[in-house]
A and B are shown apart, each in its own frame.
Chain A
Amino acid sequence: MAKGIDPLETMPVSPYARPTRWALWFWSTLVLGFLYMPIFFLVLFSFNEPRTPGLPITGLTLHWYEVAAGNSVLLDAVKNSLIVSVAVAILATLIGTMAAFVLVRGRLRHADSIRIVSTMPIMLPGVLLGIGLLIFFRRVLDLELSLLTVIAGHLVFTIPFVVLIVAARLKGFDKRLEWAAADLGADPRQSLRYVILPLIWPAIAAGALISVTLSIDEFIITFFTVGPQVTLPLYIYTQVKFGVTPEVNAVATVLLASTVLLLIVSGLVLRGGRKLMKRGAK
């Protein structure tokens, strides 16, 4: 609201301008409330004593966090989810970054069609991807389902995310920097190592981060491609479906806290990267 400098902004053109503005303000507050109300209750119920999550709040406790911490099935699920998401992030970032280079600079024929097909897995509902993979792994290749098939399944939609993000960065890249490097005697490999990669690494990092988060959260594709193992979303699903105790809320709260933490840390890292960029661009 500190836009008072522009006379156009402060001069009400219509008699309804001011009430409209208040209505919009009120609406936006409601929207943010709507967005955070479920999360608020999710966290609140994790500290509540009764066995079923809900109101009223009868007493605050950390009991459900202790229960969660001592649950070996849950811990195993967390371990599996971490293994899968780290593997997915590494592979997706490598494969996706390389593919983005070819898409943006490969002077491909039918580049537009290739771009559309390669981003299809993002837009197509996960149920279809999951079922397609299940049919393919079981009926065509006759594979045993395991964490490996889960990793393969997660790559389907994480690679396109990395491609999109890195390609967007590569397109906005000032080519003259590369010419300058070549003028100064850098061979292509040196220019990649010392010019291009330092400039696009925030995009690569963002791609890796998105891959980790999407993979940890992915329920549907995991559901169809997993063997006897349990991952975190699968564990939460069975809890939600059969017999909920506030233990799930405790897990949710820990997840939420670690995500926010991860976001803050990566935000700081990316900001550092951006500063580096600006210095590089000067």
Chain B
Amino acid sequence: MDDLTSAASSRWRRYAPGIPGAIALLVLFIGPMLFMLVFSFWETDLDFNLVPNWNVDNYLRFFTVPTYLRTLAKTLVMASAVTLAGLAVALPFTYFLVRYVSRRWQRLILLAVIVPFWTSYLLRVYAWQAILGERGALNQVLMFLGIIDQPSRLFVYNDVGVFVVLLYVYFPFAALALYASLEKFDFGQLHAAQDLGARPDQAFRHILLPQIRAGIITACIFIFIPILGEFLTPTVVGGVQGTLIANLVVNFFRGAQIAEGAALGIVIALFVTALLVVFRKYLRLEDVVTRG
């Protein structure tokens, strides 16, 4: 009897410190998500009230209204494009860093990659407005060089602007993830492969790439997923044309169409969760988070 109570109390003592965290998770995350799920099956009536009229129309709408489908497709294309570009920018960069730069400089350059993370995300997006905009630096330089004679609006308030800014905002995540896995790679293996007759590109493909797979997948996830929820960049530099899926969610909520917005939110959340579950084995959250 005494044993039982002492076992229970020791277990209690073990779990007790986790209770505030569990409550926070339950009340501030799981609860809201569950209510979002519930409301996504309700209906917004003509007076913008939420009525418990259970149905799946909010979901069906996305697969029937072309605008939604088009925006969804465009978001996926944009996210994929930025992910590939992010890898293309970050992989050579981190490869050079790990292989050819001394430890001391590696640390400094890595810090230089991290510092912009610590500056306001909003301001980093805004900064691009002053570069890509009509009176922006890019136009001024191009005009000065005589390449164009009038300010161009080609760079901002469209998909080009959104692409450039998203690449800018997210490629550092890729750099951190890739750095973490390249750092563990033994470059002697590349020499060994070449000694054994592999061409440099073969050695790269068959020896290096498989060993940094976790880093590559983590990098992809850290670029791809946030873009699915990206609403600020399209708002600031995207204009009318640059709208992404999360802008639709926000617009629904601005228009007090909560049921519709909740349904679209749930679609995105499920998609993100599916990605995380599929790639959970490779995902190195700590590599990116604890460095940043």
A136 nearest CB across to chain B (Å) = 4
Q: Which of B50, B92, B130, B133 is most buried by chain A, counting CB atoms within 10 A of its CB?
A: B130
Residues of B within 8 A of A118 (CB): 21, 25
Task: Tell whether, in the assembled complex, residue B121 and residue A219 are in contact, meaning their CB atoms are under 8 Å apart.
Answer: yes
Q: Which residue of B lies closest to A171 (CB)?
A: B286
Alpha-carbon distance A45/B131, docked complex (angstroms): 11
Q: Mark A151-163, 1 if CB is under 8 A from B, else 0.
A: 0110110010101
Q: Which of B35, B191, B236 has the most chain A CB atoms inside 10 A of its CB?
A: B35
Q: Which residues of A contact B100 (CB under 8 A)?
A: 1, 3, 21, 24-25
Residues of B within 8 A of A260 (CB): 115, 118
Which residue of B is nearest A154, CB measured? B28
Which of B64-72, B134-142, B177-185 is found at the contact surface with chain A? B134-142
Residue A133 CB within 8 A of the other chain: yes
Q: Which residue of A lies closest to B258 (CB)?
A: A135
Cross-interface CB contact of B122 among A133, A168, A233, cutoff 8 Å: A233
Residues of B within 8 A of A28 (CB): 92-93, 96-97
The answer to whether B131 touches A41, judged by C-beta atoms less than 8 angstroms apart, is yes
Q: Closest Cβ of chain B: how far from A246's Cβ, in Å?
A: 10
> For the complex, is A265 an interface residue (Cβ under 8 Å from B)?
no
Collect the chain A residues with CB atoms within 8 Å of residue B292's CB.
210
Contact of A102 with B by CB under 8 A: yes
A98 lies within 8 A of chain B by Cβ: yes
Q: What residues of B have a CB within 8 angstroms of the CB of A17 in the complex?
A: 200
- Give complex CA distance A54, B250 in Å: 30
> What residues of A have a CB within 8 angstroms of the CB of B290 in the complex?
164-165, 168, 206
Which residues of chain B come closer than 8 Å to A13, judged between CB atoms? 191, 194, 200
User: Which of B53-61, B155-163, B206-214, B261-269 contacts its partner?
Assistant: B261-269
Residue of A nearest to B143 (CB): A55
A101 within 8 A of B: yes
Contacts A135-B35, A136-B32; is A8 near B188 (CB within 8 Å)?
yes
Q: Are B127 and A41 in contact (CB under 8 A)?
A: yes
- Inter-chain contact A55/B269, CB cutoff 8 Å: no
Which one of A21, A38, A252, A259 contacts B118 once the chains associate, using CB atoms below 8 Å?
A259
Which residues from chain B contact A153 at a C-beta distance below 8 Å?
28
Judge whether B232 is part of the interface by a CB distance below 8 angstroms.
yes
Q: Is B225 an interface residue (CB 8 A)?
A: yes
Contact of A194 with B by CB under 8 A: no
Q: CB-defined interface of A1-36 with B at 8 Å, one 1/0 digit per residue?
A: 111000010000110110011001101100110111
Q: How far is the CB of B50 from chain A (nearest CB, A)?
A: 6
Which residues on A sit within 8 Å (CB–CB) of B231?
Answer: 127, 220
**A252 cross-chain contacts in B, Cβ below 8 A:** 119-120, 123, 126-127
B89 at the binding interface (Cβ < 8 Å): yes
A3 & B33 in contact (Cβ 8 Å cutoff): no
- A135 and B119 within 8 A (CB): no
Interface of B is mostly: helix
Q: Are A107 and B131 touching (Cβ within 8 A)?
A: no
In this complex, the member of B14, B122, B137, B253 whose beta carbon has the largest number of chain A beta carbons within 10 angstroms is: B122
Residue numbers in A under 8 Å from B255 (CB-CB)? none
CB proximity of A213 to chain B, nearest CB, Å? 6
Q: Interface residues of B toward A: which range?
A: 35 or more
Specify which of A99, A108, A125, A255 is in contact with B17 (CB 8 Å cutoff): A99
B128 at the interface (CB under 8 A from A): yes
Which A residues lie within 8 Å of B101 (CB)? 1
Given contacts A95-B24, A124-B269, A139-B50, contact A54 B135 (CB under 8 A): yes
The answer to the question of B239 belonging to the interface, with a C-beta cut-off of 8 Å to chain A, is: no
A129 and B29 in contact, given A35-B112, A95-B24, A156-B24 (Cβ under 8 angstroms): yes
Nearest chain B CB to A253's CB is how many angstroms away?
Answer: 10
Which B residues are CB-close (under 8 A) to A24? 92, 95-96, 100
Are A122 and B285 within 8 A (Cβ)?
Answer: yes
Closest to A125 in B: B229
A256, CB-defined interface residue at 8 Å: yes
Q: Cβ of A136 and Cβ of B31 under 8 Å apart?
A: yes
Q: Complex formed: what's the CA distance from A237 to B123 in Å?
A: 9
From A1, A139, A256, B35 is in contact (CB under 8 Å) with: A139
Residues on B lying within 8 angstroms of A by beta carbon are 14-15, 17-18, 20-22, 24-25, 28-33, 35-36, 39, 50, 89-90, 92-93, 95-97, 100-102, 109, 112-113, 115-116, 118-124, 126-131, 133, 135-137, 140, 168, 172, 188, 191, 194, 199-200, 221, 225-226, 228-232, 235-236, 246, 249-250, 253, 258, 261-262, 265, 268-269, 272-273, 276, 280, 285-286, 289-290, 292
Question: With contacts A136-B35, A159-B21 known, what are 16 further pairs, Cβ within 8 A?
Answer: A13-B191, A31-B93, A35-B113, A98-B17, A99-B21, A102-B17, A125-B225, A126-B229, A131-B262, A132-B35, A132-B36, A134-B253, A140-B35, A156-B24, A233-B120, A240-B126
Q: Which 3 A-B residue pairings sit nearest by Cβ, starting from the closest?
A: A125-B229, A99-B21, A102-B18
